[in-house]
Amino acid sequence: MDPMDQREHERIGSLNLSYVYVDENGTPVREGMGRTLNVSESGILLETIFYIAPGNFLLLNVAVGEELLDLKGRVVHCRKNAAGRYQAGVEFSDVENMSAADLKQIVQSLKGQTG
């Protein structure tokens, strides 16, 4: 692990399509498709064709094999890449209903799809 990288959890690459439902202050703002670029036990890096302002909450349906997982997270940053798409760092929230073992299983499942 790079000593300059201060992330608490390992990032796993993934290309699973995600359905993105943007919820700002309880009001639906936009729906769309995106893809996960990587995932960890604490969050996800999501690529979309539209900007998502930091602080907004996302409800994500992420495909893991034959299953669809419902995850909720808060956007902590969003940047435009060289290809003109946006990369949003999403920190998982409301994960108290999921155990650490459940999150690890999700990450391992995604790792198995990309390895």
Full domain range(s) for residue 24: 1-84
State the total domains in the chain.
1
pLDDT band at 11 (very low <50, low <70, confident <90, very high): low
Q: Quick check: 72 and 94 in contact, CB under 8 A?
A: yes
Residue 27 CA to residue 110 CA, distance in Å, equals 30
Q: Is residue 70 part of a domain?
A: yes
The per-residue pLDDT for range 16-48, each reduced to its tens digit, is 556 666 666 667 777 888 888 887 878 889 999
In a domain, 71, yes or no: yes
Question: Pairing state of beta strands 27-39 and 17-24?
Answer: antiparallel
Residue 82: per-residue pLDDT: 95
* Helix (H), strand (E) at residue 113: helix 100-114
